[in-house]
Amino acid sequence: MIRRSIRLLASAALMLAATPALHAQTPATLHGEAPGATIDPRIFSQFAEHLGYGIYGGIWVGPESKIPNIKGYRRDVVEALRALHVPLVRWPGGCFADEYHWRDGIGPRAKRPVKINTHWGGVTEPNMFGTHEFMDFAELIGAEAYVSGNVGSAPAGEMEEWVQYITAPQGTLADERARNGRKEPWKLPYFGIGNELWGCGGNMRADYAADVTRRYATFVKVPFGTKIQKIASGANGPDYNWTEVMMREAGRMIDGIGLHYYTVPGDWKSKGSASDFTETDYARTMAKTWKMEELLTKHSAVMDKYDPAKRVNLAVDEWGIWTDVEPGTNPGFLYQQNSLRDALLAGVNINLFIHHADRVRMTNIAQMVNVLQSMILTKDAQMVLTPTYHVFDMYRGFQGAAVLPLDLPKVWYGRDEWVAPALHGSAARGKDGVVHVALVNIDPAKAQHLEIALSGITSTSVSGRILTSDRVQDVNDFTNGARVHPVAFTGASVANGKLVVDLPAKSLVVLDLP
């Protein structure tokens, strides 16, 4: 169904491109005089699930490990994440969340039960990384915590007590927490009412899920004077009925509703390689990722019906590219490489989130380390930063900035029947007055010359960084190191009220105009 509508969109786009009258472009303009919504830093958030080497080996090695660590957390990973200014981390799942019983992960580590991670590889789950380890990890990297509760296989009271254990300043659960090493309550600003209730979270129908959400949300309570935002389990891609029913029946009891959409280059049976793909595969992937625009627009429109004031956040709490696993690795571990293609795809999505910043106030790329489109890959004591890590780093200036409208020429890129806009951009003004402009050219062969009129912007200089490489298939790995990394960009200038950019093929550029 998705594939069919993307193909239709693609043919429509090709037709537009073929119509000469439509080649006349509106001039490219950056509007500084009309700032829009503030970009919630949380749209640059991450997701860390008990899955493969996402937690164990990727974040947690234990205090006894030979791998350099800070109280059990890998030092290299912690330092890289701190440098990235990760605003928030979602944990413990994912599908794992609806099988997780929080009491398994507290108390002396040696006494914790060993369970089976039935969803991800059927391997043992040692419960060495539990509530204390996660909440302390979030603090260590300077991020907020977003904990997803177990709705699918645990009673509401279990969830209520978990929230109390984390947040209560006094009482039996607070005493137990103190005995386990943490006297002060943690801050818990976000809580997920289950995950994918339409699937691994319980295979519920929308009406039933909305009722269950109301019931479980009732028992998520934090101490007087503190706040917690409750995020309902959201739709699977284009399931607008899910959002409709959830908003209609449970909207007043929640602060956010999720949305999960993965870019799968092929289909779920044969997703396609992470680094060995053709140009048609590339174009199809980009056309499919651009589907996010339609999803955000249509889910937002449904939400507008019930919440015109936009109180409820559309939290895209799982997104990213999902390819086949690397050959020879456990299929249940979702370990995939990360190429320049993935970095460009991340840029496309981030720009879309920025365009929808009035409704989208949190997104969580899946996932943080060693799983799906990760920021970081580790192998024993080695670590590499992926091209996607660098994208998040390059966009740091957008966190908390005010959106500025940016009109770009409509240029298309396509291969076979797969078509998507070649140019993607967004702009924002930071609190310090600096204007940030992000530009992505997904065309693997064609550079773009842009002349962008600056309206209401008096900057006279520009600097920036570019992320590109020889091939869109290029990756950073343990043999060749950091092949894809940002470098200073010299292809932009400001003169006579215009920003002129020579944007190379297959590149992502972020510019600062002081």
* Contact set with ligand AHR (CB under 6 A): 49, 93-95, 195-196, 318, 366-367, 372
Residue nearest to ligand AHR (CB): 94
Residues belonging to the active site:
196, 318
Any alpha helices (H) in 108-170, and if so which ranges?
A: 131-141, 156-167
Minimum gap (Å) between residue 23 Cβ and ligand AHR: 41
Cα separation, 495 vs 153, whole angstroms: 62
DSSP H helix total and E strand total for the chain:
11, 27
In 19-100, which ranges are continuous DSSP H helix? Answer: 75-84
**Cα dist from 324 to 93, 253, 389, whole Å:** 20, 38, 20
Q: Judged by CB, which is closer to ligand AHR: 72, or 201?
A: 201
* Strand, coil or helix: 151: coil
The whole-angstrom separation of Cα 289 and Cα 271 is: 14
Residue number with CB closer to ligand AHR (334 or 501): 334
3-state secondary structure of 291: helix
Question: Smallest distance from the beta carbon of 97 to ligand AHR, in angstroms?
Answer: 8
Q: What is the residue type of 304?
A: D
Which residues, at least 6 apart from 289, have a Cβ–Cβ distance to it below 8 Å?
A: 263, 321, 345, 348, 349, 420
Q: Quote the DSSP letter at residue 110.
A: G
Using omega within 30 degrees of 0 as the cis cutoff, is the peptide bond preceding 367 cis?
yes
Tell me the angle at which helices 340-355 and 291-306 cross, rounded to the nearest 10 degrees.
30
